[in-house]
């Protein structure tokens, strides 16, 4: 591993919903193996501030200019707080790759959104995020699906594969999840 030339990729995940303010953690990796930095922010459960809060966290980081991409765990955070991945790219200049473990069921998402404010606005952000690209990482039977902003899907898929090591999700997302769940629950919960 040549650390100097490894690309920096940020993984961002939220934590279990226990309060109105939801902890969100960013884990910045060099390549797939070296954790270079950790950051956190809070956003509102079922709110409309996910894009803004995550953009603020990224832009105020000392690592901001080095970030090659940001990996999101899907595009809804803190319940139904939907990230506008194109606006996130526009405000951070960092390419965005939203990673999903299952092909999203848009119809049931649309139904679920009816329980919170501005369902059609939220749904429009999900649709606006664009088509889904299938990515095979380590296990052919468990593909991932990505939506991207500011980067071609093939390049996004390449970054996802490059940062995926022993688990079935990229290391930055795996570690961001461990940290955020441990802070709220006392110990990290699994996700692999």
C-beta atoms surrounding 129 within 10 Å: 22
Q: Which is nearer to a second copy, 51 or 61 (CB)?
A: 61
Which residues in the 99-128 window bind a second copy by CB under 8 A? none
Q: Which stretch binds a second copy (CB under 8 A): 14-22, 104-112, 119-127, 182-190?
A: 182-190
Which residues in the 31-50 window bind a second copy by CB under 8 A? 33-35, 37-41
Min dist CB 179 to a second copy, Å, is 5
Contacts of 152 (CB under 8 A, 6+ apart): none
Is 4 an interacting residue with respect to a second copy (CB under 8 A)? no
Which residues in the 50-89 window bind a second copy by CB under 8 A? 57, 60-62
Given 108, 120, 140, 186, the residue binding a second copy (CB under 8 A): 186
Q: Which is nearer to a second copy, 29 or 89 (CB)?
A: 29
Q: Which is nearer to a second copy, 7 or 109 (CB)?
A: 7
Task: Please give the Cα distance from 161 to 164 (Å, whole number).
Answer: 5
Q: Which residues of 150-160 are buried (b: 16+ CB within 10 A; e: fewer)?
A: bbebeebbebb
Q: Tell how strand 133-135 and strand 96-100 pair up.
A: unpaired
The three state secondary structure string of 68-122 is: EEEEEECCEECCCEECCHHHHHHHHCCCEEEEECCCCCHHHHHHHHCCCCCHHHH
Contact set with a second copy (CB under 8 A): 3, 25, 33-35, 37-41, 57, 60-62, 166, 175, 178-179, 181-183, 186-188
């Amino acid at each position: 591993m040549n650390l100097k030339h490894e690309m920096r990729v940020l993984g961002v995940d939220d934590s279990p919903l226990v309060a109105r303010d939801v902890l969100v953690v960013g884990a910045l990796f060099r390549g797939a193996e070296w954790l270079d930095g950790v950051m956190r922010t809070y956003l509102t459960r079922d709110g409309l501030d996910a894009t803004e809060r995550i953009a603020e966290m990224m832009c105020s980081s000392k690592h901001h200019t080095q970030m090659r991409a940001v990996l999101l765990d899907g595009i809804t955070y803190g319940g139904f707080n939907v990230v506008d991945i194109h606006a996130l790219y526009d405000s951070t200049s960092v390419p965005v790759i939203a990673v999903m473990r299952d092909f999203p069921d848009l119809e049931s998402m649309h139904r679920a959104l009816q329980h919170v404010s501005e369902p059609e606005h939220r749904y429009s952000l999900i649709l606006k995020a664009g088509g889904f690209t299938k990515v095979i990482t380590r296990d052919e039977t468990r593909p991932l699906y990505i939506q991207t902003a500011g980067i071609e899907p093939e390049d996004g898929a390449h970054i996802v594969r490059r940062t995926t090591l022993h688990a079935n999700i990229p290391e930055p997302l795996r570690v961001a999840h461990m940290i955020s769940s441990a802070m709220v629950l006392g110990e990290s919960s699994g996700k692999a």
